[in-house]
Chain A
Amino acid sequence: IAGITQAPTSQILAAGRRMTLRCTQDMRHNAMYWYRQDLGLGLRLIHYSNTAGTTGKGEVPDGYSVSRANTDDFPLTLASAVPSQTSVYFCASRGVVDTGELFFGEGSRLTVL
């Protein structure tokens, strides 16, 4: 089934631990995005990649890093998790940057204690 796969779907993590959220798409979309969604704040862009080999910072990049070694994969890493990073994380992709709709993964619910 074509689409975006995120893993894990849910995780409880101790503060200070390193965590990587995985995201894989099979639609050959060039652009990929990581958002976090918190109650009352809507979706906030963490990092993005317009094409394989390039990445950029979004609205809330601090404490997060990404890589884009190939078209399909776009992992998000929390180097040292803090409780304020408790959130739902969505990976998304877009085939046409200037007009195309975003396709979202099912989300990863992360709790940092």
Chain B
Amino acid sequence: GQNIDQPTEMTATEGAIVQINCTYQTSGFNGLFWYQQHAGEAPTFLSYNVLDGLEEKGRFSSFLSRSKGYSYLLLKELQMKDSASYLCAVLDSNYQLIWGAGTKLIIKP
């Protein structure tokens, strides 16, 4: 079966750095997405990785290792507005997105 695992909840301090991990087992791989979802709102796109390595976009970076079935999202200089759920999703061999359950990130002052 297809499976994506990510921690249910994480807590971090404003100004700090946090890493949210995602491991996957899917039928084929055509890329990995990270989305941010604030409570009561729709998910919004953060990043897309299809090749191994680190992609940096401002305070957010996303890393992929295809051989390990592993990705992480790195958030630097945390701000209170970063409190949200972070969703990991893999594009499988049929180009359908398989979603993780999401990681709720709580930022404390």
**Shortest Cβ distance from B101 into A: residue:** A42
Q: Which A58-113 residues have a C-beta within 8 angstroms of B? A: 58, 90, 97-99, 101-107
Count, A-B residue pairs, CB within 8 A: 45
Q: Write the nearest CB–CB distance from B100 to chain A, whole angstroms.
A: 6
Instruction: Give B59-97 as 1s and 0s: 1 = Cβ < 8 Å from A's Cβ atoms.
Output: 000000000000000000000000000010101000111
Q: Name the A residues within 8 Å of B31 (CB-CB).
A: 99
Across the interface, do A101 and B33 meet the contact criterion of CB distance under 8 Å? yes
Q: Name the B residues within 8 Å of A58 (CB-CB).
A: 96
Q: Write the nearest CB–CB distance from A110 to chain B, whole angstroms.
A: 15
Instruction: Give B33-56 as 1s and 0s: 1 = Cβ < 8 Å from A's Cβ atoms.
Output: 101000001111100101000000
Chain B contributes a number of interface residues (CB within 8 A of A) equal to 22
Q: Write the nearest CB–CB distance from A75 to chain B, whole angstroms.
A: 18
Tell me whether chain A's interface is mostly helix, strand or loop, or mixed: loop
Across the interface, do A40 and B101 meet the contact criterion of CB distance under 8 Å? yes
**Shortest Cβ distance from B33 into A: residue:** A101
Q: Is B99 an interface residue (CB 8 A)?
A: yes
Across the interface, do A90 and B87 meet the contact criterion of CB distance under 8 Å? no
Given A41-B101, A98-B95, also A106-B87 (CB < 8 A): no
Query: 3 smallest A-B Cβ distances: which pairs?
Result: A104-B42, A42-B101, A101-B45
Binding site for A on B (CB under 8 A): 8, 30-31, 33, 35, 41-45, 48, 50, 87, 89, 91, 95-97, 99-102
Binding site for B on A (CB under 8 A): 40-45, 48, 58, 90, 97-99, 101-107
